[in-house]
Amino acid sequence: MVKHENYFFLENGDVLKTVKALAFNLDTMSDQLFSAHVNPSKDDFANWIEHVFEGKELADRLRQVKDKRDYQILLLKGLLKSKTKKVKKYKCDKCGKHYDSKVGLSVHKTIAHKKG
């Protein structure tokens, strides 16, 4: 879960907790508000995504874009991609079970395949 201090506070007082929330907020966000956060000298959203969600790849792509509509499209694409990325990718080599984190897998290995 995203911690409170990791929320994004928009200049109009709205609070964003997830990248998805930002993508939907862009629908109604004014150009003025958007450019308060995204302009040639900074990109608050990209920084937020990079630091809070470790989405460096998406953030780098967002930094190339200064148009609200294009920005939203990139975000939505990024969300789709991260959804497919969430497929459990750590496979136990002993029983074939899948885990979505390294920790999950190593806990499983410790419990299920403990030696002795």
Rg for the chain (alpha carbons), in Å? 18
Q: How many residues bind Zn ion (CB under 5 A)?
A: 5
For tokens 């299920």, the residue is 112
Task: Give me the 41-80 binding string for Zn ion, x by CB under 5 A, dash otherwise.
Answer: ----------------------------------------
Taking the C-alpha atoms of residue 67 and residue 75, their distance in angstroms, rounded to an integer, is 12
| Cα first-last separation, the chain | 37
Under rule CB under 5 A, residue 107 binds Zn ion: no
For tokens 């990139």, the residue is 74
- Single residue of 66, 92, 99, 104 touching Zn ion by CB under 5 A: 92
- Single residue of 15, 30, 35, 95 touching Zn ion by CB under 5 A: 95
